[in-house]
Structure 1
Amino acid sequence: MDTVHAPSPRPLSVHAPAAPLSGSVTVPGDKSISHRALMFAALARGETHISGLLEGEDVLRTADAMRALGAVVLRTGPGAWHVTGRGIGQLQEPADVLDMGNSGTAARLLSGILASHGIFSVMTGDASLRGRPMKRVTDPLAATGAAFLSRAGGRLPLAIRGVADPAPLSYRLPVASAQVKSAVLLAGLNAVGTTRVEEPVATRDHTENMLRHFGAHVTVEPLGAGGRTITLAGRPDLVARDVVVPGDPSSAAFVLVAALLVPGSAVTVRGVGLNPLRTGLFTTLREMGADLRLSNERIEGGEPVGDLTAIAGPLHGVDVPADRAPSMIDEYPVLAVAAAHATGPSRFRGLEELRVKESDRLSATVALLERNGVAVQVVGDDMIVTGTGGAIPGGGVVETRMDHRLAMSATVLGLVASAPVDVDDTAFIDTSFPGFIDLMNGIGAGLAP
């Protein structure tokens, strides 16, 4: 497999638009569901048709990896993919290194699959991914009998010697993480017996939903104080099932927040995934006074979907509890922009997970705000943003640190700042939201390099 090289930097200077934002749009397919659709289809018997797949770089890395492991993965049209699976335990040893690009989700979930097959594999990624910790995944997975060899701190490149008859795992997550939970459950697919995961706070449950969709037996029981116990019966007969991927709520967040902040704006995002474990941002925005309207609710592919309309208006500060963090962990940077524009202070609690994203998103978000004249501080794992009441000074240069969500958040901030905001690199936006700048221009953002 060819090595994925970092794209050439694409700087952007963002100015406030001359008129309100308006229009009705769709955003790319949900990234979390897209990764899982490709992986589960490769593990299932038969032919799976996927529609609405996110065709960003992260997901394309997963498609390449499943091809390298022996599945037939074909693109048949925009967002339309066809996968002929190998069946559980039947993946082949890859002939070359698996390059996961910028995708921590793909690398961590795939670790569970690779650990539970009797093959040798090596994963690497771009500079950002090679700096991200993997030990919180490899430590529990080692109990299957798999062996891992990595750089210091469990960082990529990562060599995995999997086992054909893995031991089932029983693991309690020390910190809520859908990626770690999913890696353990994926390892349990090829284990004889029951795999059990306890999570202290409920995290996004796309893995559980899709496992059931493909025929696995998964049970979920409450575990005090908002936690859950998930059990999976090993070696299920996964059978191909078509998958419809809803619009990614994490991508919709940038469009909706921009519409809430640019005066006079009204924008609808159609077909957004509304899984209750992914909608913490929408709950929080409404608590801040946002006019966010839901219509056309429906179920597609086992996931709730609807249309969201954001209408600009004043926002006020809010105190967000730590137990909401798993349902909006990727949205905190753009939420911080909303808080900077609001009146009064906002406190976001329990953000330790942000330190191990594509960048240290907590420190990067602080830098994004500080460089543009917004008062912000970190107290322990909490972030406190002092709102400007709409008077964000701007004028700063934002270092995105190869992080797509930082780049998009900086773009939204630039649309409502008094002085232009310079974003050092928007190239990595393509990992999750290809066409972001064109879409924003289509609703009136007026973005130009």
Structure 2
Amino acid sequence: MSGHGTPIPMQAHFSRGLSGRADVPGDKSISHRSLILGALCVGETRITGLLEGEDVLDTAKAMRAMGAEVMRDEGGTWHVYGVGVGGFAEPDQVIDCGNSGTGVRLIMGAMASSPITATFTGDASLNKRPMARVTDPLALFGAQTVGRSGGRLPMTIVGAVDPVPVHYTVPVPSAQVKSAVLLAGLNAPGQTVVIEQEATRDHTERMLAGFGAQITTETTGEGRVITLTGQPELRPQIITVPRDPSSAAFPVCAALITEGSDVLVPSIGLNPTRAGLFTTLREMGADLTYENEREEGGEPVADLRARFSPDMQGIEVPPERAASMIDEYPVLSVVAACASGATVMRGVKELRVKESDRIDAMATGLRACGVEVEEGEDWWIVQGRGAGGVSGGATCASHLDHRIAMSFLVLGLAARKPVAVDDGGPIATSFPIFEPLMAALGADIRRV
């Protein structure tokens, strides 16, 4: 069952010559943060290009529930009239964050240093995911938490009445944890310091600076040290959300493994903390080029052109790159299956606690499609079958995970026999236009 309704079984069939322009949705990470930071300003923040997937719409509902005015006009521009730092109102109802780990963890951080109480829940997948990694540091500010065993949702957070700034070293690479602590630090007097030993996506730091917060980042022997001065008056912004590199991964990878393809994916954010997949694909020999490189809204952006690449070779992906492409390993494993030789992925234990255990989910489905996979707690190896070498013919479990579902559907475009997923419904959480976009490129993906 999908956490969003009746299951939607889908099947992808062998396709040739994907071509055209793939206008993928706005970046999910930046969309969440735009709404939350807009709600923490006084005045109007305007957002164009917002991802209108279920995850982000749930964050918009949460900001309304906490007192901000959030609306979309007929032209697709979103308007957020914020309540200021420390101005959140106590919500009347439980906050349902659907499938979004990013949404719930960032919202928890944003409210944890305010004297309000909020209860959070999500769908079946989100309610299995660990929240202690966020609630533990939030307790240092003075917030109190009551949840299910294992630190799982549903969970109630009682915000700190007199928050104190914290000095926190993030124990595992996680942009969500880092961001939750920084957002909590906004309403704490003095300086909150976050140290990350491995760099993770830095959208929160960039956007906080853009909204007028006093924030600095330096690299020391301890790692990246981020210092935020609390209780600023954030300034409303006009934001153009770049297109999501995690969504772009699917049409890009489909073009690389599908015979005769040439696809343009315009205006993709290439923040170096997010672009690890594209670097990896090029190292494998992919015909993937960056065109019209530029900067928009403080973020590097380019148009990606991906062409069929039958001579790709497996590589060992540097483990230090994992944080910059953690959401893209499922679809990378599909490309690896269609390359020659072994692709080795290490330092990826975070995949075990995503919307699903993504290593297990992909390994099980790939094996059912005739691909040899080895795995450990923190690594996995895909033995490539070469272009046209994947047999397919399996129905794979999506485990309520949008990226698992889309990855197997991409595989089906290049496999000799169709590849199905038991439920494509969760795709709407991050990529609501996936089906029509892929169909317009020439992909044969059907609901069954």
Q: Same fold (TM over 0.5)?
A: yes
1:187-229: per-residue Cα shift (whole Å, max 9, x none)? 000000101111111100000010011000111111348x311
Superposition map of 1:32-431 within 5 A: 32-77=29-74, 79-224=76-221, 227-313=223-309, 314-390=311-387, 391-431=389-429
Shift in Å at residue 8 of structure 1?
1.7
Change (3 A) 1:42 1:321: same
**8 Å CA contact retained: 1:263, 1:312:** yes
Question: Secondary structure, in 3 states, of the residue corresponding to 1:158?
Answer: strand
**8 Å CA contact retained: 1:321, 1:348:** yes
Unaligned segments of structure 2, at least 5 residues: none
Change (3 A) 1:76 1:241: same
Superposition map of 1:429-440 within 5 A: 429-440=427-438
One-letter amino acid matched to 1:287: E
Question: Secondary structure, in 3 states, of the residue corresponding to 1:406?
Answer: helix
Shift in Å at residue 380 of structure 1?
3.7
Change (3 A) 1:446 1:37: same
Question: Secondary structure, in 3 states, of the residue corresponding to 2:444?
Answer: coil
Question: Secondary structure, in 3 states, of the residue corresponding to 1:140?
Answer: helix
Aligned equivalents of 1:77, 1:178: Cα separation in 2: 33
Shift in Å at residue 121 of structure 1?
0.6
Give the count of matched residue pairs: 444
Change (3 A) 1:56 1:270: same
Question: Secondary structure, in 3 states, of the residue corresponding to 1:254?
Answer: helix
Aligned equivalents of 1:165, 1:354: Cα separation in 2: 36
**8 Å CA contact retained: 1:55, 1:79:** no
RMSD, matched Cα:
1.1
One-letter amino acid matched to 1:60: L
1:442 to 440, 443, 447: 440
Shift in Å at residue 296 of structure 1?
1.1
**Structure 1 partner of 2:17:** 20
- TM-score after normalising by structure 1: 0.97
**8 Å CA contact retained: 1:176, 1:199:** yes
**8 Å CA contact retained: 1:44, 1:238:** yes
**8 Å CA contact retained: 1:165, 1:190:** no
Shift in Å at residue 322 of structure 1?
1.2
**8 Å CA contact retained: 1:243, 1:301:** yes
Aligned equivalents of 2:150, 2:6: Cα separation in 1: 29
Aligned equivalents of 2:221, 2:363: Cα separation in 1: 33
Shift in Å at residue 446 of structure 1?
2.1
- TM-score after normalising by structure 2: 0.98
1:127-172: per-residue Cα shift (whole Å, max 9, x none)? 0000000001101110111100000000000101101331111111
Q: Which segment is superposed worse, 333-342 or 355-364?
A: 355-364
One-letter amino acid matched to 1:260: L
**8 Å CA contact retained: 2:413, 2:444:** no
Shift in Å at residue 388 of structure 1?
0.3
Aligned equivalents of 1:78, 1:57: Cα separation in 2: 19
Shift in Å at residue 448 of structure 1?
1.8
Q: Which runs of 4+ in 1 moved over 3 A?
A: none
Shift in Å at residue 79 of structure 1?
4.1
Aligned equivalents of 2:343, 2:409: Cα separation in 1: 21
Change (3 A) 1:154 1:292: same
